[in-house]
Structure 1
Amino acid sequence: MNETIPNDTSRSAPHVAVFSFPSSSHPMSLLMLVRRLTAAAPEVMFSFFDTAKSNGQTFKNIDKDLENLKVYDVDDGLPENYVLTGKWGEEIELFMAATPFNFKKSLEVAEVERGRKITCVLSDAFLWFSGEMAVEIGVPWLAVYFSGAFALTTHIYTDLIRSTIGVDPNAIAGREDETLEFIQGMSSVRIRDLQDGIIVGNLESAFNRMLHRMGQMLPRATAVVINTFEESNPTIIEDLNSKFQKCLSIAPFTSLTYPPPSDSDTTGCLSWLDKQKPSSVVYISFGTVGALPAHELEALAEGLEGSGTPFLWSLNDKLREQLPVSFLNRTREWGLIVPWAPQFPILQHRAVGVFMTHCGWNSILECILAGVPVIGRPIFAEQHLNGRFISDVWGTGIRIDGGVFTKGGVIKGLELILFNEEGKKMMEKVQAFKELAEKAIETDGSSTRNFKTLLQIVSTT
């Protein structure tokens, strides 16, 4: 595969292959990590591999060919003239069917084109086959997991969970509140909190088989990089350290390392917040992938109006059209709805007192960094796990009553966090977490030390 590489000193320089998973926030999160590595190791060459569609979105406002970073497209697995049906997971299934051959083909192109052998594979942990490819070419495999340590734990222990609890829906029925006492650090987690694909759902879908295989493969990685900081879950991190060759928790880094440009507030959110009282506003966002059902959108709107709480709501135009016109008219004096919002600067603003969220991991990290308590309404994936840790382990927020929005539940939640003594305690706890996160990225902090270890591995030829 490397016969045509020029015979010069560049052959011995580090060349890292970066494999991205083309879904949700994964590519951008991986790019943020790679940009930090490129800045710290300008002598290392990075080649970034993803589908053309995903690369187009990820690098929309970023130069694809930085000095030591070049972008390559891999086959997305869609047959020529194929028309997508809109079925959930369809593109992922086609993409996974094309792996690993699509990556191998593009890897050959990059190695020849750039004149350097691959010396390390840095991949999204979802792409478990990257480990086998790394073994084939005799280089380290670094797997990056972008959610929390407790979500990763469920994948590492999937086989144990299945053998202990079972996968028969009839056998599980009525046991949803049983806890995972048999896994270190997971005694507060209940069966109902587990992601689809662990013991319920279509265990044989391409996506769920991928995650199952990931959990089996990660102990073989040279290092597993986790988007968390050690102090957030020391018991779980201790257990993962016993499972992996190296367990490197390196968060928080994305929001602090690459803050949005000063002109990113195109919808006027920050200037609107400037006019509000300290800790009075609820910021609302449920991410870009999942969506609330119409009846919950209506209940949330009714609760916001009934509470009289100033609100800033990031909601796309299609969903905004589902809100009653009367609600929009009656709340325009103390509420602002925008199609997009610069989330981290908003959470950092003194006017924001609580974040109403789907409990996506990036959002949870930003809450911690900003020191803002949470009202959680998980929608899918590991969000239920995240919500459980927020409410029952960390005490930095609550989950909405019954798991769905009602007018009364919204009013009750806002009252509790913004005005009650219990809410003050949650604020104190999240502020304490913020201090731990800030210490983790200090010069001698745990995340800084772990990043240096990661940097050393990618810089070694």
Structure 2
Amino acid sequence: MSKQSMQSNGGAGPHVAVLAYPFTCHPFTLLAFTRGLASAAPNALFSFLCPGKCNSSQQVPSNVRVYNVWDGAPAGNGLEDVALFMKVEHAIFKKGVEVAVAETGRKLSCLVSDSFVRVGKEMAEENGVAWVTYFVSGAAALSSHVYTDLIRQKFRVAATGGEDETLDFIPGMSKVRVRDLPEGIVTGDLDSSFSHMLHQMSQELHQATAVFINSFEELYPSITKDMESKLKKLLSVGPLVFSTPPTTVPDSHGCLPWLDKQKPATVAFISFGSGASPCPPNELIALAEALEASRLPFLWSLRDQAKQHLPKGFVEGANGMVVPWAPQIDVLAHGAVGVFISHGGFNSTLESIASEVPMIVRPFFADQMINGRMVEAVWEIGVVVKGGTFTKNDTMNCLDMALAQEKGREWRKNMKAIKEMALTALVTSSWPTNEDAIYYPKEEDAIRQNKFQCVHCSRF
């Protein structure tokens, strides 16, 4: 910032507004990213604006203020909630920014938004500041969105055929099939407000001053190189799992003490994300029957409303625990856990890599299909259930593969190599421990030129 701008800001440091997308894991991942920035820049102030109640177990630095700017949507993560949010997001974020500026006495210096926040670019322009966006998933999902128009040109009738065609015309995506793409690109209701938001994002990402991603370059080398040529600045700042502070939520269900009693690398941990279980009742039954027949110890994080679909007597006679919530990072890091049965969310995938626990993936929506494809066909650290649905026999085969066969040992070996690359990437970068790695406009004319600086950081 210029000297004149600093004086108009009361002589204080930069003020960064962060706009969160309030569904699934988005707000918590963005808050972890904000925490990293705030720790690296103690003189900057971050106003984290989260629609609804953004309750988090994360500890945040004193220079992060969390504003719950709206609580008008129904509970849940359905598309109706998303549509309602998109109708009012500009109004609620505009009001939230006004409140944050008034309370802190600091004008905005920069605006950071989740890539799914449709009005991020517009609001940055209204405030005359640089726009930075944060993409919560991996580079493969990012690439699929950036290339939306090209993919649509080639696969206009994907819903009626061609699902197994590969994206070999996109760098680094030769093993990704049309069926692996997130809905809203060529499949699903392309006329929905959500699909329109995704398409708008695909057209605006290259206009952002910088795009941050919760990944590291070595995980997607070809894709990352290509994205760097398509965007003004792509910054890999992950995996954030290595810099997320310990959870402050107690292990109230005794998951860790129970794991202490199990043999090393024998337990199957099952979790389908932080929201309500998307798994259909018939698949919950098939998964339960596979666990029962395999006689494996297991820890299953499953909401109470979904437990009613489990076979009668399963919970009482099970060789494991069924709990409504488990401290996932701590569980995966426990030596007793040998395999992770997951929906394939990107955060869960990174957490599994960090703990070197092979994956069995049952994807449901969003980026989960493309993450599962990378797990199975590119990184070779796990398997996607056959046909994308749980059946008793296939699940048993997957469990045996992960825990008893040579394939499982190969997966663990590959995970160890990926984890080492991730740690090396963090050590050699300025994120998140380098206290100089805060991004904000160097001078007021840099805002007009849409340029950005990383103070004392050669990567920018």
TM-score normalized by the length of structure 2: 0.89
Q: 1:288 matched to which residue of 2?
A: 274
SS at match of 1:46: strand
Identify the match of residue 434 of structure 1 among 409, 419, 432.
Answer: 419
Between the aligned partners of 2:269 and 2:443, the Cα distance in structure 1 is: 44
Between the aligned partners of 2:68 and 2:295, the Cα distance in structure 1 is: 50
How far 1:356 sits from its partner (Å)?
0.6
How far 1:264 sits from its partner (Å)?
2.3
**Residue 244 (str. 1) matches residue 231 (str. 2):** yes
Q: 1:133 matched to which residue of 2?
A: 123
Cα distance, 1:73–1:308 mapped onto 2, change above 3 Å: closer
How far 1:104 sits from its partner (Å)?
2.0
Q: 2:448 matched to which residue of 1?
A: none
What are structure 2's unaligned runs of at least 5 residues? 445-460
Q: 1:361 matched to which residue of 2?
A: 346
Larger displacement relative to structure 2 (201-210 or 104-113)? 104-113
**Residue 269 (str. 1) matches residue 268 (str. 2):** no
Between the aligned partners of 2:364 and 2:58, the Cα distance in structure 1 is: 31
**Residue 160 (str. 1) matches residue 155 (str. 2):** no
Between the aligned partners of 1:9 and 1:232, the Cα distance in structure 2 is: 41
Between the aligned partners of 2:273 and 2:99, the Cα distance in structure 1 is: 36
**1:6-405 equivalent positions in 2, closer than 5 A:** 10=10, 13-51=13-51, 53-55=52-54, 57-58=55-56, 67-75=62-70, 88-166=78-156, 168=157, 172-254=159-241, 256-261=243-248, 264-289=250-275, 290-331=277-318, 334-405=319-390
Q: Could you give the per-residue CA deviations for residues 198-228 of structure 1, whole angstroms, max 9, x where no partner exists?
A: 1121112111111111111111111100011
Q: Could you give the per-residue CA deviations for residues 54-107 of structure 1, whole angstroms, max 9, x where no partner exists?
A: 33x34xx5789x6322233435666xxxxx598931122122112323322332
AA of the residue aligned to 1:321: Q
Larger displacement relative to structure 2 (236-245 or 102-111)? 102-111
SS at match of 2:438: helix
AA of the residue aligned to 2:202: G
AA of the residue aligned to 2:135: Y
For the 8 Å contact 2:357–2:412, the answer to whether it is kept is: yes
How far 1:174 sits from its partner (Å)?
2.9
SS at match of 2:133: strand
Between the aligned partners of 1:115 and 1:104, the Cα distance in structure 2 is: 16
Cα distance, 1:233–1:7 mapped onto 2, change above 3 Å: closer
For the 8 Å contact 2:9–2:105, the answer to whether it is kept is: no
SS at match of 2:263: coil
AA of the residue aligned to 2:136: F
Q: What's the Cα RMSD here?
A: 2.5
For the 8 Å contact 1:374–1:397, the answer to whether it is kept is: yes
Cα distance, 1:287–1:35 mapped onto 2, change above 3 Å: same
For the 8 Å contact 1:76–1:94, the answer to whether it is kept is: no
Cα distance, 1:156–1:446 mapped onto 2, change above 3 Å: farther
Between the aligned partners of 1:115 and 1:158, the Cα distance in structure 2 is: 41
TM-score normalized by the length of structure 1: 0.89
Cα distance, 1:114–1:182 mapped onto 2, change above 3 Å: same
Between the aligned partners of 2:307 and 2:442, the Cα distance in structure 1 is: 48
What are structure 1's unaligned runs of at least 5 residues? 79-83
Between the aligned partners of 1:35 and 1:320, the Cα distance in structure 2 is: 35
SS at match of 1:42: coil
Between the aligned partners of 1:6 and 1:381, the Cα distance in structure 2 is: 42
Equivalenced residues, count: 439
For the 8 Å contact 2:283–2:391, the answer to whether it is kept is: yes
Cα distance, 1:458–1:354 mapped onto 2, change above 3 Å: farther
Identify the match of residue 408 of structure 1 among 393, 398, 407.
Answer: 393
